[in-house]
Amino acid sequence: MAALPTDRLGFLLSFRGELTSARIRSALGVAGLHPRNAMTLMRLAPAPMSQRELAAAMEVDPSQLVAILNELEEAGLAERRRDPADRRRHIVEITEAGAAVLDRVDQAVGEAERELFADLTEAEQTLLRGLLDRVVVDPAAHECGE
């Protein structure tokens, strides 16, 4: 007997991904953050970095990053400053308020993940993470050997 089209792995991954995305967005809503803003704060949490490095790390166009940083600065969650060693370069840093918001986000996302993965053991979660890391999301990059 043939599998139902809804049993196809890509469809299942897409459907579960949408449900997971909705749950994570809800968790981010605790702090009133858009996912891209939360991801930016997460990237900045370990240490300040240049605006160019941040755009590359987040894989976003620099103009998109400017809009994100404008929102974060307006909310007092991040700040840009000129690099004293190179006045053309901006260093981006999370603020104390940004770190506090990120703590709330981390708690909310942690709770969401506990709910989402409650039926998986630690070993299964580790396996799932490894399998998802191997899913090819950019076939062109895969063909080029990247």
The predicted pLDDT at position 84 comes to 86
Residue 81 three-state SS: strand
Cβ–Cβ under 8 Å, residues 109 and 35: no
In the chain, % helix, strand, coil (3-state, to 5) comes to: 65, 10, 25
Q: What residues have CB less than 8 Å from 49, skipping those under 6 apart?
A: 43, 57, 91, 92
**pLDDT tens, residue by residue, 114-128:** 999 999 999 999 999
What's the burial of 10, exposed, middle or buried (CB within 10 Å: 0-12/13-18/19+)?
A: exposed
> Is residue 23 over pLDDT 90?
yes
Q: What is the mean pLDDT of residues 74-96?
A: 92
Distances (CA, A) of 39 to 25, 34, 88, 90: 12, 9, 25, 19
- Asked whether the whole model's pTM tops 0.85, one would answer no
Q: What is the mean pLDDT of residues 124-139?
A: 88
The predicted pLDDT at position 137 comes to 76
The predicted pLDDT at position 131 comes to 93
